[in-house]
Chain A
C-alpha cells in the first residue's frame, strides 16, 4: 500500500506570493495517477489537478502540477485570498490513498 507524505504541514504566505507544496510517495505512482484537491472549511474537497499536471475543468491557470515517479509538486503562482485552504494529494487507479494535507494560511 502506497503512503503519500505531504510537506510542509503548514505554509504561511501572503497574498501574491508563490506557494510550493510537495507530495512524496513511498513507491512509484503508476502512470502519474496523482491528483490534488483543495478543501475549504465546511466544504467538500474540489479537484484541482489530475494526471499529475492536468488542470480540472474551471481551475485557474495559477494552479499547476508537476512531477512523476515518487515526487510531485503543486504550485500556486500567485496566491489569491480564496486560495488559503488545505490541499491534499491523492493516488488513484489500482491503489488509492490520500496524503495528510498541507494547510496554506495567511501570514
Chain B
C-alpha cells in the first residue's frame, strides 16, 4: 500500500528555521516525483514545487522560488520542505503528494500525505 506520512504539527516564532518531512512507503520512492502543496487557512491549494528523489532534480513554482528549499534523502525514502526564516504568512497546512507516473511529471498527484500544520506566531 502506497503511503506518505508527514511529520507532526509545528509551532514556531517568526525568524526561526524549520524542516518538515514526508516519508514514502509501499512503492519505489526513488522513481516517482514528490510535490509540496500549501493551503493557507480557509484558502485553496497552491503548488510549491516538486523533486525527483532519484537525482534530486527540483522544480519550484515562481511564487515559492527562494522562499523555501525542497530536498530528499532517497536512502530513507523521505522528502523535505524547509524554511530558513519563517514569517507569520507561512502559517498554513502543507501537503506532500506523489506524482503518479513512473519517472515522469506528466501525471497528477495520486497519493497525498496527511498534511503538516505549521503555525508561525510571536
Contacts and interface: CB of A to CB of B under 8 A. Distances in A.
Interface of A: 1, 31, 33, 35, 37, 39, 44-47, 50, 56, 86, 88, 90, 92-94, 96-101
Nearest to B114: A44
A35 B105 CA distance: 13
B69 to A, nearest CB: 18
B52 to A, nearest CB: 14
Nearest to B46: A98
Contacts of B108: 33, 35, 37, 47, 50, 90, 92
B106 interface: yes
A92 B99 contact: yes
Contacts of A47: 100, 108-110
Contacts of B97: 44-45
